[in-house]
Amino acid sequence: MAQPYARLKLEPAYRKVAAALTESITSGTLRVGERLPSETELGLRMGVHRSTVREALRELESAGLLRRERGSKLMMVSRPDRDTVASGVTRALTLHEATVAEVWEALTVIEPMVAEFAARRRDPNSLAALTAVVAAAAPQDDALAAAQAADFFRALAAVAGNRVLSMSHEPLLQLMASSLNTLVAVVPQARSRIAAAQRRILEAVERGDAAAAREWCGKHVRDYRRGFEVAGIDLALPIKAGSARRAGRRRAPPGKRAAVDRQP
């Protein structure tokens, strides 16, 4: 039963300003590219101090809803980029202790469909970008190899031309890259297997063979799981975000059980 006299939640004034501006942006009242009035004018219009407005604008800038053009003091409405949107979800999945197995199960559902769409919708420009990513496969550095593997799926989604899929799977790719950093360190042959699978998927996409692209992408994602099993990595371990961006990591001795986010 609800408490009739529950304590009211009091929010700082800058949060109320930020919420009002966010509502105007998401409703389309303020459009992308539109400049906001100065902090002083906004404060006068909204009945708050200039410092309150400044704090609200900083929050919305961090969220990617506003940006400041070089040489201008005025904020402009913008769209959050893919990384900004994904970073919050990635942090949430990390805090909820998403496991290796859970990430790969999600990728198994999403990525084969992305490959199928890519084969059906390919165009020369996006295919050129995907080809360039495949050409960079199997670098010796662990972090670069993990990052390249995630970049392949990003480029594949770009060929598919579905922005919802592209933004939806980005948090998974960030966690995937983190876990792969450990995998490629422990299983040296993983690099060549990843490169070979990427070439097969690319060839199917280039031919416009949607069935083959989907099949090879499914095999590719399933092969990652087998790689973890070969490496002796516990699939129930939580993934920690961010490790794939750290280069120069030490190679783990074979046969040892590895934590997903091995520290240098």
Task: Give tens-digit pLDDT for 208-249.
Answer: 999 999 999 999 999 988 888 888 888 898 887 664 343 333
CA distance 40 to 13: 15
Residue ranges per structural domain of the chain: 13-77, 83-245
Query: Is there a contact between 84 and 63 (Cβ–Cβ < 8 Å)?
Result: yes
Tell me the whole-structure pTM to 2 decimals: 0.77
Tell me how far apart the alpha carbons of residues 31 and 35 are, in angstroms, rounded to a whole number.
9
Using the predicted structure, report yes or no on whether residue 53 has a pLDDT greater than 90. yes
- 8 A C-beta contact, residue 160 and residue 217: no
32 is written with which tokens?
A: 């992308």
Model confidence band, residue 124 (pLDDT cutoffs 50, 70, 90): very high
145-192 confidence digits (pLDDT tens): 999 999 999 999 999 999 999 998 999 999 988 888 888 888 888 999
CATH code of the region 83-245:
1.20.120.530
pLDDT confidence band for 122 (50 / 70 / 90): very high
Mean pLDDT for all residues in the chain: 87
Contacts for 61 with CB less than 8 Å, ≥ 6 apart: 67, 68, 75
Span 133-142, pLDDT tens digits: 999 998 889 8
CATH of 13-77, one of 1.10.357.10, 1.10.1740.10, 3.30.460.10, 1.10.10.10: 1.10.10.10
